[in-house]
Amino acid sequence: MDFETLVRLRKSVRQYEDKKPVPSLIEKCIEAARLAPSACNSQPWSFIVVEDRDLVQKVAEQCVPPVGSMNKFVRTAPVIVVQVMEKTNIQSSIGSMLTDRDYNHIDTGLAMGHFCLQAAALGLGTCIIGYFNESKIKELLGIPKNRRIGLLCTLGYEKGGQKEGTKKRKPLESMLFYNRYKEDENK
Ligand SMILES: Cc1cc2nc3c(=O)[nH]c(=O)nc-3n(C[C@H](O)[C@H](O)[C@H](O)COP(=O)(O)O)c2cc1C
């Protein structure tokens, strides 16, 4: 599969088959995340693969807000990957301070991007989850108090088979400029 096809194929999958991917496939996705770029090569991440059925349900519960139906689908995923933000290196922390930019969050997001693209290439579906009760999930998984969770990501086989979705995106011309920023008078 060429890269353009893969990029179009990857989408957020919110309904899964009741079938767990084998560890070697899960590990290929983690490997792709491991190879992601990071500021000063600090690699400020680790990953917990939650695949125990009861534990998946408990983590999934912590992704649903008190009102509304957001993230209820997480319960259907056979696997949830929880990304822990690890200590960064001194160069990256100084860089973050000097530029007023949180490189750790940028790095962890990039790693999750790699994870999702690799999963799609292997025929697996993913959905990055940014809404969750961090302290409850830390408790459930034994993550130390001095660590933060980056992102969560569901992983499994899309219900009914992998299919390309429709992409709702802003038009290219609204976000692409050559040489100089151009303000949109309609914004
Ligand atoms: C940082 C981040 C947090 C996200 N959090 C959630 C979430 O909590 N629940 C959810 O259903 N989708 C979540 N998404 C998925 C986005 O809604 C999705 O990527 C976007 O709508 C584009 O659709 P696509 O992934 O199918 O191309 C998140 C995506 C990112 C990058």
CATH 3.40.1390.30 correct for 3-174: no
* Percent of the chain clearing pLDDT 90 (strictly above): 96
Atom of ligand 1 nearest to the CA of 14: 11
Is the CB of 26 inside a 6 Å radius of any atom of ligand 1? no
Instruction: Evaluate whether 81 touches 55 at the Cβ level (below 8 Å).
Output: no
Instruction: Tell me, in angstroms, the distance from the centre of ligand 1 to residue 179's CA.
Output: 31
> Residue 109 — very low, low, confident or very high, per pLDDT cuts 50/70/90?
very high
Averaged over 11-29, what is the pLDDT? 98
Residue 114 clears pLDDT 70, i.e. is over it? yes
Amino acid 176: pLDDT:
96
* 171 SS3 class: coil
| Separation CA 103–CA 1 (nearest Å) | 31
Tell how far CA 122 is from the center of its chain: 16
**Side chain identity at 92, as an amino acid letter?**
S
Residue 181 clears pLDDT 70, i.e. is over it? yes
Instruction: Tell me, in angstroms, the distance from the centre of ligand 1 to residue 140's CA.
Output: 23
pTM of the model: 0.97
Averaged over 153-164, what is the pLDDT? 97
Residue indicated by tokens 């353009």:
4
Query: What is the average pLDDT value for the chain, to the nearest integer?
Result: 96
Hey, what are 110's tokens?
């990039």
* Domain-wise residue ranges, the chain: 3-174
Amino acid 129: pLDDT:
98
What DSSP string describes 77-94? -SEEEEEEEPP--HHHHH
pLDDT digits (tens, 9 = 90+) for 44-81: 999 999 999 999 999 999 999 999 999 999 999 999 99
pLDDT digits (tens, 9 = 90+) for 120-147: 999 999 999 999 999 999 999 999 999 9
Instruction: Tell me, in angstroms, the distance from the centre of ligand 1 to residue 102's CA.
Output: 20
**Exposure of 12 by Cβ count < 10 A (0-12 exposed, 13-18 middle, 19+ buried)?**
middle
The residues facing 152 across adjacent strands are 82, 129
